[in-house]
Structure formats: structure tokens, C-alpha cells
Amino acid sequence: MAEHLQKTGFPSGSEDKASVLDSGPEMTEPQLAVASVVTSKLSVKAPEFYPPGYNQNFNQNFTDSSFEDRYDGYLTLAEYVQDFLNHLTEQPGCFETEIEHFAEALNGWVTTDEALQELVELIYQQATSVPNFSYMGARLCNYLSHHLTISPQSGNFRQLLLQRCRTEYENRNEATKGDEATKKQFHSFVLFLAELYLNLEIKGTRGQVTRAEILQEGLRELLNALFSNPVDSNLICAVKLLKLTGSVLEDAWKEKGKSDMEEVIQRIENVVLDASCSRDVKHKLLKLVELRSSNWGRVHGTTSHTEATPENDPNYFMNEPTFYTSDGVPFTAADPDYQEEYQELLEREDLFPYYEENGADLLGPGDMYFDEIDDEMDPEIEEAYEKFCLESEHERKQ
């Protein structure tokens, strides 16, 4: 028992015993024992609290101050970039405040082709291996593509990034048929490419901002590859991809006069009918088709209130009051004679004379309606009240 207490952190022997006082007449007040406090050895930095693939060996100085104050102590570019990526994974809210300083530091550090290639690879690996970093990685790539000054002959940051993505893209057909680990890595790449398509901005010569055309074409081929091998994991990845980019892709295809989205939806319906995927995955696919039929959940606003008319706004009469005729028939603003009848109701005498216009405050003494109130009781009611009081008094005395 003593050994067990020692292992659990509790003191053994006399240290864990409370003093038991004599209960004789001299005892005036019981004495309470103070329980031992056990200090937990569980750390918030335990590996169980980090997502798979996350590098836990990040700089501990992040907890004391911002990342930008610590970059001088790094020996290699890889250490500096990897620590910043881990820091961004742990605290994504720091992106806006620290990205500018990070880019400035990279401009002083990344001065060769090899260094730029290393930077691209580090960001790519983080975005495709750490869960939920694909969006932040795409934002980071977009910022660096506009703020890194180095532009070697091998290509600038954006060009090298797209070349790295192309390497994975060319293996799409094999990846969709590979083992679970291969497919999982490929699906992470697909979602990262989708985030790149949404976040990577390309500025034209006249200052206009467009999306990367090559990524749009790539996503279409990736969908084909996923549907060509309709196992559950591939179909779930396709659903995520279309939920993320479906509305943007369809708009872009429509501008070119293409019906690619119609073909994609038709292929989904064929999979639901013919493929041997699970019931849950078929349900996800049907929900996706339903989402697309509702214009991807987008709601176009109606005209402003001043311009709304019964012809262009189906909710035009929603906030108008409803009246009822003597026969109990509803009489609303949609009826042709409503305006005339409603005006007559407004011109009648006030139905609530003892309330102000907002219906909240009673009139006080000195007001016309307040002074007209008669405080005297009706004679018949007064007689009945007196009789009730006498009977109550008689019963009380008995």
C-alpha cells in the first residue's frame, strides 16, 4: 500500500494521516485535516496534443514574444522557415502581424536558386502534410509571390511552386489507385491546390488581378482522376474539392461558354447509381448535387427597400399588417383595395387612448383621458362588495 501511494504521488506513513482528537468534554472545536495537493506532470506540450506530422521541436521563445524578434539566432534557412511555419500552424492569427517581417527577413536570406528551391519545398511539405494548414499555406504562398525580390533564371517563387505542384499532379492516376498512405498524401495535395487556386493572385500588366488559369485546368483533371477510381476516400476528396471551389470554377467555366460543371454533376449522378461506394458517401454526393442546384448556397440580394415593388420583391408585403373582414376573411396588402381601406382605419379614433404612440407610457393626471376616468364603483357592485365584507367578518369571528 505504501508503495502504491508513493507511485501515485501521495505521501505515505504519518504524513497522510489526519489528527484525531479526543471527543471528551475538553474538546471545543474539531480540527480538519488538509488534503495533500497532487501536482500533475501532464504538459500542454505533450505529443498527444499535436496533429500528425506536426514538428514539435519549435523554438520555445514563441511563448515569450513574437517570432519576428527571434530570427537573428538561426543558423540555417531551413531552421528559420520551419520554425515560422510551425509557429503559424500553432498561432494562425499571427499571420497579419508577422508576415511582413518574415518576408523582409527572407529577402535578406534567400539570395540563390538553391535557397529559393529549399523555401518552396519547406512550404509545400508543410501545406500537404500538416492538417488544416493548406489554407494558411496558400495565403503564405500568395504573399511571398508578390514580395520576394529574388527572381533567378530558374524561375521566381510562384513559378517554382507551380513546378513543384506539377510533379505531384503528373502522378495523379497512379496516386488514386495507390495504397491508403499514397492516397492520403495525394488528397492533401488536391486540397492545397484548390486553396492555391482561390488565394494565389496574378497581377496583369494593367493592374488587374486574376486567378492562375493553369490551376483551373489542373483541378478539372484532378476531378477526372478521382472519379475514375470511385472508392470512398477519392469521392470524399472530390466532394471537399467541389465544396471549396465549385462556385468559382462554375463561374469561370460559364464565362468561357463551357459546360464542364454539368459534366461533373452528371458524373456524380452516375457514380451514385453505379459505383459500389458506401451509403454515407452516396449521401454526401447527393448533398453536393443539391448544393449546386441552389447556386452553391449563394443568395443574391434583392433591390434596396426604396426601389422594391410587388413585382420585383416577393417579400414586399411581408411586414405589412393583416386584417380580417366581418366574415373572417384575411385582408392583406396584396389585395387591390387594401391601401384605401387601410387609410380609413388609420383615420379612425385611437383604439388605445391611454397609451402614447409607442404603446409604452400611460397618460398621467392632468391629461384629458386620465381625468375622464370615473373612480366611483357601480352601485350594484358596491352593494355586493359590502355584503361580501360583512360575511367575511362574521365568519372570522365564529
Q: How do residues 375-387 score in pLDDT, each as one tens digit?
A: 566 777 877 887 8
In angstroms, the CA 108 to CA 28 distance is: 78
Distance, C-alpha 120 to centroid of its chain: 28
Residue 391 φ/ψ, nearest 5 degrees: -65, -40
Sequence-distant (≥ 6) Cβ neighbours of residue 225 within 8 angstroms:
172, 173, 175, 176
- pLDDT band for position 12 (50/70/90)? very low
Q: Which three cell numbers stand for residue 56?
A: 514539435
Q: Which residue is it, cell 515560422?
A: 84
In angstroms, the CA 153 to CA 176 distance is: 34
Q: Nearest CA to 102 among 82, 117, 84?
A: 84
7: left (phi over 0), alpha (psi -120 to 50) or beta: alpha
- pLDDT band for position 336 (50/70/90)? low
Q: Nearest CA to 180 among 241, 232, 257, 106?
A: 232
Q: Would the pTM count as exceeding 0.75?
A: no
User: How confident is the model at residue 210, as a pLDDT?
Assistant: 84
3-state secondary structure 225-255: HHHHCCCHHHHHHHHHHHHHHHHHHHHHHHH
- Enumerate the β-bridge partners of residue 203: 209
Q: How many helices (H) and strands (E) does the chain have?
A: 15, 4
Cβ atoms of 202 and 210 within 8 Å: the answer is: yes
Domains of the chain: 77-297 (1.25.40.180)
255-293 pLDDT tens trace: 999 999 999 999 999 999 887 889 999 999 999 999 999
